[in-house]
Chain A
């Protein structure tokens, strides 16, 4: 919707915001402008860091100031596109609110009183506190937890630091996102595959909101195609922009995707529509599956999912008979308790239609072969298993399980966690149940945060170490798997601003303030520089380093379909076949085939809270970018008109939401037919509790504040759709 500027001139609209924050940074840009375009213009290729797609761009630098990040047309994944977030990223080095120098807290935690410190002071402060804690814990280094997130190619140095420090407690992004999808697909196909949407003719997406959760090349591959060249069936309780683009939108009841997938399998088998060759030659457990899906008829699934049996039957037939059809694996955060099994059911449907290793299907994500980062591990005599090691069946040692880990840490069970070292993760907004995260923070003797911005998490830390921005850093290449495997690289467009350092410098310098059990300084474990590591990574590819410097990416030949369908070729499962029935799961006491179990339903006048994405935002990271915030200065809770009328809530009213653990948020209502009557939703990134990001400080509501903490015990994934809320008008 747009406001008429003619009306504005007539004086009927008061749209001028009083908020001046966020404008100061553009002064840099204007300074470059003032010096004229005739000034020195250079282009530097590098890769984006605003989401996980890592698109390559050509950075236009005028008189030493970044003016624009233009898309790189030759990069095979983004092929000359740059989304709103990537474009807005050009702003980030000049943001007046970035962390400019090391900070040590002087007031109470969260009070916002800091003193500017030198790096040496900050390192010493961290080391003194941490070493004291370790000593009090009898030398056990597991008492320090380490958190980090994706997007930075320097995260490996953080893991090196944690490992040489001697803590097993590492927590990353995947269990807040896609670890359940990975586990589910791996158990069937031995890989978390990529999808060839470019050649797909019939696509089912369940929750994978690819028009808003932009992911290159998938978003481009499907939506840039002419209408009529494919059919898209989209399942989501919310009418997203993907729904607007789909041929059919089905507002499925949350938590019932597995019922839908099982019913598809039922029809495909009952009507003999499955790919006989593929099932006979490449799958195992088909007979068990045939028996298993017998009760899961479309009529049964209609009751569970709210999708008409006739629709389910028709979709099953179309999916099985349209060449190059695929059920997109998706990546949405978990729906409910049977999350891994739901993903298994979706993978099984793909196996039945032979949508593996063929155009328009799924393909193992092949990367660019590179040398790995090698370092000497440290050795400690006193070690303990990670905190939540008994809670999750397939626990990734680096990924951890955030929610399960935090529950253990809060109870000091089986041991105490007394410090948190956090690298580029906004724990207070990323992890569900902010109240619990705050309680955990309260228990800490030391919280260290490395970030470029003053997130809520940084605001509640004791020491904040400023990392150089992604446009000021050289990061070693990182391989991106896919049909067109690439490795992308980051190099500085401009010199570092302020007193900031790249991740490698920070951790290797901090390491000098710690010793291992034999009295060696931990810095002795760190060698070289990111540039030396980068050169070494690609040393096996002649000319690769030069191409990285020029183009910021390298490619290897495209993956050819059919390699896995050749005689004698095994896939990466125990049986070497696509496992419809999982002996591995059976052996662990898990259902070998997906069994549908109903999740808890919201009562009358209760709603299931949904999470979701917006094309202008990456989780909580971008809501305060001025050019993005301009499009959506605050979020609002989506509510269907039917319950809204019942509750007396009008569009724009302020409402209060409360979840089952008593947490409350206040947020504006957006009454819209675009959501199921039993669900509510608002966008992530808003409702910050600290003024570190002024544009979203106390504006809108935070998702982490309302999400209850639940996790899925097979993969450890946080269950983002197990939150039930009540709403009332304020």
Chain B
């Protein structure tokens, strides 16, 4: 049996295609059994906008979907006192919920504001790239549900993957590169 090649899960985001319809957020909450109730702090992914910019009638508005960046150099993992936050071989940043003591260090350490306290489990939670779905060969729920296919998910170590092709042929950027976190989310520009 040949040794299985290590995967590197990444997401390529094309913000130009985002229509801010919130399908990703609702699909994520449903897929991951999240009940936010009326708590505005509870979400795993989000779409940011600076609002309408410019002076009437010369206006523009841009939408930028985001979530946990699954950094290669994750500050949340470094600060976690119980090793509840950890990195998997595939490049995912995961949480061992049993180890979490809800000290919130990771919430403060994350430059992307990706973590929240779950009202259901009472521990810290965040996007998992739908690891349970990836394991079944499915796409993350937000990727799957998106009407305009803003997000492309795949294995960057596979040169034939759509993500590898996009990153080879398009200009892209990452969020907050100055933080040195090496995110796994790439934004086409």
Contact = CB atoms under 8 A, between A and B. Distances in A.
A216 B145 CA distance: 13
B61 A615 contact: no
Contact of A674 (B37, B59, B144): B59
B23 A81 contact: yes
Contact of B41 (A8, A82, A211, A214): A8
Contacts of B113: 2, 4-6
A576 interface: no
A431 B59 CA distance: 33
B116 A88 contact: no
A249 B120 CA distance: 44
B148 A615 contact: no
A239 B59 contact: yes
A536 interface: no
Interface string B5-35: 0000000000011011111011101110101
Contact of A239 (B39, B52, B148, B149): B52
Interface stretch (A20-28, A186-194, A660-668): A20-28
Given A2-B113, A251-B57, A673-B54, A633 B26 contact: no
Contact of B30 (A30, A88, A250): A88
Nearest to A4: B113
A9 B107 CA distance: 9
A30 B33 contact: yes
B145 A5 contact: no
Interface stretch (A132-140, A292-300, A622-630, A707-715): A622-630
B36 interface: yes
A23 B37 contact: yes
Interface in B139-161: 141, 144-149
B46 interface: yes
Contacts of B2: none
B88 interface: no
B148 A219 contact: yes
> Which of B17, B40, B107 has the most CB atoms of chain A within a 10 A radius of its CB?
B40
A86 B49 CA distance: 24
B37 A22 contact: yes
B51 interface: yes
Contacts of A239: 52, 59, 61
A631 interface: yes
A82 B21 contact: no
A82 B36 CA distance: 20
Given A627-B36, A630-B36, A87 B52 contact: no
Contacts of A3: 40-41
A6 B108 contact: yes
Interface residues of B, number: 52
A82 B33 contact: no
Interface residues of A, number: 69
Which of A219, A226, A245, A630 has its CB near the most chain B CB atoms (within 10 A)? A630
Interface in A228-262: 239, 241-245, 249-251
B26 A81 contact: no
A244 B22 contact: no
Interface in A631-645: 631, 633, 640-642
A9 B104 contact: yes
Contacts of B30: 67-69, 87-88, 90, 627
B41 A15 contact: yes
A223 interface: yes
Interface string A141-160: 00000000000000000000
A631 B25 contact: yes
A616 B115 CA distance: 24
A71 interface: yes
Contacts of A646: none
B137 to A, nearest CB: 13
A21 to B, nearest CB: 9
Contacts of A80: 144
A223 B17 contact: yes
Contacts of B19: 211-212, 219, 223, 241-242, 245, 615
Interface in B46-95: 46, 48-49, 51-52, 54-57, 59-63
Contacts of B146: 81
Interface in A72-127: 80-84, 86-88, 90
A20 B38 CA distance: 8
A227 interface: yes
A224 interface: yes
Nearest to A242: B19
A1 interface: yes
Interface in A44-90: 67-71, 80-84, 86-88, 90
Contact of B147 (A5, A22, A26, A83): A83
A17 B37 CA distance: 8
24 contacts: A1-B51, A6-B107, A9-B104, A29-B33, A68-B141, A71-B144, A214-B21, A219-B19, A219-B148, A223-B148, A224-B149, A227-B16, A241-B19, A241-B21, A243-B59, A245-B19, A250-B57, A616-B22, A626-B37, A627-B30, A630-B36, A640-B56, A642-B56, A673-B52
Pick the 9 closest A-B CB pairs, nearest first: A17-B38, A615-B21, A244-B61, A211-B19, A224-B148, A87-B26, A84-B22, A673-B56, A81-B147
Interface of A: 1-6, 8-9, 15-17, 19-20, 22-23, 26, 29-30, 33, 37, 67-71, 80-84, 86-88, 90, 211-212, 214, 216, 219-220, 223-224, 226-227, 239, 241-245, 249-251, 615-616, 626-628, 630-631, 633, 640-642, 672-674, 676-677
Given A19-B38, A22-B38, 17 more contacts: A6-B113, A17-B37, A30-B120, A68-B141, A70-B145, A81-B23, A82-B23, A212-B19, A224-B149, A244-B20, A244-B61, A245-B19, A616-B21, A672-B51, A673-B56, A673-B59, A674-B59
